[in-house]
Amino acid sequence: MQPEDFKQEQQRLRETVAYMDRILHSSKSDIENAQENIKTAMSNVEYLDSSDSFLNILMNTRFFELARNQKEGLEAIRQKPYFARIHFQREQEPEEFLYIGKTSLFHSETHEPIIVDWRSPVANVYYDGRLGDITYDVRDEELSGHLFAKRQYKIEQAKLIDYRDVDLTTNDELLQEALEGKADVRLTEIVSTIQKEQNEIIRAHLRQPILVQGAAGSGKTTIALHRISYFLYTMGEHFNAEQLMILAPNNLFIEYIGDVLPELGVDKICQTTYADYVQNALKLKLKLTNPNEQLEKIIAQAGNFEELHISKMKGSPYYELMMQRYLQHYEQQLATHFDDVFIEKYRIVKGDHLKKLFLVEFHYMPIEKRLERIKKIIQTEVKRKTTAVLAKLNARYEDAIGRALNGMRDAEKRRRTVTKMIDERDERIPKIKQEAKTTATAYMKKFTKAKIKTLYRELVTSRELLYEIAPEWDPSETESFLKAHKKETWALEDLAALYYLQAKVKGIEEQWKMRVVFIDEVQDYSYFQLAALKAGLETDMFTMVGDLAQGIHSYRSLTEWQPVLDLFPRATYATLQKSYRTTIEIMELANGILAQMNEDLPLVEPVVRHGKVPQFILQDKLDVETIAKTVEAIKASHHQSIALICKTTNEAQTIVKQLENKGFPAQLLNENSAIDQQKLLVVPSHLAKGLEFDAVIIASFEAPYYDNPIDRKLLYVALTRAMHELYLIGPSKETFLM
């Protein structure tokens, strides 16, 4: 026999679903009516008088969009309308039960909330975790109330399975169940299991930048995506989704997170990689050297020290200083072309004045925007002063003609003089008028528009320029830099300079001028990459999440957070040290590698969840049968998502061939792969970052992990991908720095 409370909850769920079904039916009718009204209005559009029809079309189109959005929103949550309830009393108001879900639903007649959106201020009461007297913020106003109880629901297919009342002393069983579940090929939303420290970051000040150091498995990526949803819910009236951008590490990662934002009711947001964004914004199509190939060379102990030094330097504050000096040089070159503007013999504008406008008054603008503004000023001055010049000339000619008519006694001489003056006037004045039309355009022809690629290549290939722009370098550094750029090749590190020059010379076009930016794996960015983005977008509203312990590109990117905090002085800095992905046993192994790193990061705190102890399988070379047995054992534990992680791409390719030759289904993942979960996923370590799997097999035969910063980080990344099971296969434990 079911408890009465359970029956009441069942009835409440049935009533909610029934009401949603009525609204859905109504929405479908509204959509059909709106479509019919649009068709009718379209047929009534007349050539001469169409204003009413167009207004009707616009109104019905808006109504159609609202009805469609409501329908799609309700359909998305019908199987699970809500996940939690709070028993709450606002100050001086009656007690109420508020049911929390992914979107709001209000009764059409009473306007009472049936479901409260998880992003609403009052829902924060649920996530905050404290029973008793509480305060919460609504539009910067602090309100008080009392939280009597919190309840979590397990609902599947619109049926109530179970519920639990939770308090401060109760483990979050819903979280535990989620963590014990299976990994998927796509990231999913976590609105029902958001933890207090995660919630604080999601809801942190939205008009300030934030930098999050998040341990592996802390949910930093998911938190960033939920922050986007929260941002649009809270600030949507000021920002469109099109003005927000996610910069992901690669296209595989974009595929991996592809379902989260739609699940959270967010669409139209720009999701791209840094390289793709910069090239699109600059209208360039460059063949970039693959940064992973450079990493692979380093891993193989075959990296070129000079190349690494140049890569590091191109991401440094000094390279930004070089670009600033180069721009000053370019400005001064252009400034030499400013001389006086004349029409005929009349000076319209002084060159010194224009030069001052260019170098000082308009310095806040991109160079070519300044020139456009100066052209408009010249046009205005020409128009204004031409009128005055013509008036003065006409007056002079009229005066001269008058004196000739009245002062000359010789009729023939008088006639010739007056005729000559009239002809001169009639020829001169149209010429001045005509010249005035083209004066500004003709004057500005001296200022040719730059091609950013050409401008940048000029700097990196000119010895004379480099001596001027980088006087701190000794001659050997300059020669090494010139040698590296003799052949026109383009690396990821060059994009920051190109983007910076574009921003300062031409400006970033509005369609690419995002107002809010979310960056994942920010530890793989350089200082200058972030500085260039900030300068080009003209905003500091960045949400940046990363983990220095996973900074596998540290040879060219960030090794500490202080430069980022200096660049974003308004930024909030937060840390997430709890791991929700891995078991205690797996994390103990990973923490052993973390402790060997130079970044002085605290050890990761795994959420209390035990599992199998990681297993070492000692083998000198790959044995497909061993892999097959290991995979079978994993699947026997009902785990489906399995990855075999190799240190290098070469070893991953070799292993895939060996597996396929023996008829074992395997897929080698690259940056553009569509993941096939039916196969064993073979992943190079650098691509595994950001992904998670039920079980991971780390294999190392050809390429052991050496005791150096990059190898330690690659191994740490590989170790922290597993949720439940971890196997290490190789010739010795020393292969894995154990």
Model pLDDT for residues 387-403, shown as the tens digit of each residue: 888 888 888 888 888 88
For the ranges 186-195, 310-319, 458-467, the lowest mean pLDDT is seen at: 186-195
Q: Is the pLDDT of residue 248 over 70?
A: yes
Q: What is the predicted pLDDT for the residue at 651?
A: 93
Q: What is the predicted pLDDT for the residue at 66?
A: 60
The average pLDDT across 144-166 equals 91
Phi first, then psi: give them for residue 695, nearest 5 degrees.
Answer: -140, 150
3-state secondary structure of 86: strand
The average pLDDT across 311-317 equals 94
Among 196-200, 341-345, 358-362, top mean pLDDT goes to: 358-362
Q: What is the predicted pLDDT for the residue at 94?
A: 92
Q: What is the predicted pLDDT for the residue at 169?
A: 44
pLDDT band at residue 544 using 50, 70 and 90 as cut-offs = very high
Interatomic CA distance for residues 244 and 542, integer angstroms = 10
Q: Is the pLDDT of residue 35 over 70?
A: no
The average pLDDT across 64-86 equals 79
Q: Is the pLDDT of residue 715 over 50?
A: yes
Q: What is the pLDDT of residues 626-685, one digit of tens each?
A: 999 999 999 999 898 999 999 999 999 999 999 999 999 999 998 887 788 789 999 999
The average pLDDT across 540-560 equals 92
Cβ contact 102:38 at 8 Å: no
Q: What is the predicted pLDDT for the residue at 73?
A: 77
The average pLDDT across 59-84 equals 74
Average pLDDT, the chain: 88
pLDDT band at residue 75 using 50, 70 and 90 as cut-offs = confident
Q: What is the predicted pLDDT for the residue at 346?
A: 86
Between these two residues, 536 and 59, which has the higher pLDDT value?
Answer: 536
Q: What is the predicted pLDDT for the residue at 725?
A: 96
Q: Sign (positive/negative) of CA torsion 181, 183, 189, 193?
A: positive
Tokens of 725: 């099971």
CA proximity to 85, closest of 108, 119, 114, 121: 114
The average pLDDT across 706-712 equals 90
Question: What is this structure's pTM?
Answer: 0.87
Cβ contact 378:440 at 8 Å: yes
- State percent of the chain over pLDDT 70: 91
Q: What is the pLDDT of residues 642-656, one digit of tens each?
A: 999 999 999 999 999
pLDDT band at residue 1 using 50, 70 and 90 as cut-offs = very low
Cβ contact 342:443 at 8 Å: no
Tokens of 612: 């199998």
Q: What is the pLDDT of residues 466-521, one digit of tens each?
A: 999 999 999 999 999 999 999 999 999 999 999 999 999 999 999 999 999 999 99
CA proximity to 669, closest of 648, 652, 689, 693: 652
Token pair 């995002």 is found at 514
Q: Please list, in sequence order, all residues whose beta carbon lies within 8 angstroms of the beta carbon of residue 419, skipping any fewer than 6 positions away.
A: none
The average pLDDT across 320-335 equals 97
Between these two residues, 238 and 471, which has the higher pLDDT value?
Answer: 471
Q: What is the pLDDT of residues 599-613, one digit of tens each?
A: 888 899 988 789 999
Between these two residues, 266 and 337, which has the higher pLDDT value?
Answer: 337
Bridge partners (DSSP) of residue 236 are none
Cβ contact 569:549 at 8 Å: no
Between these two residues, 273 and 138, which has the higher pLDDT value?
Answer: 273
Interatomic CA distance for residues 271 and 472, integer angstroms = 40
Give 542-557 as a DSSP string.
EEEEE-GGG-TTTTTS
Q: What is the predicted pLDDT for the residue at 179?
A: 59
**What residue spans of 559-623 are helical by DSSP H?**
562-567, 584-594
Between these two residues, 516 and 436, which has the higher pLDDT value?
Answer: 516
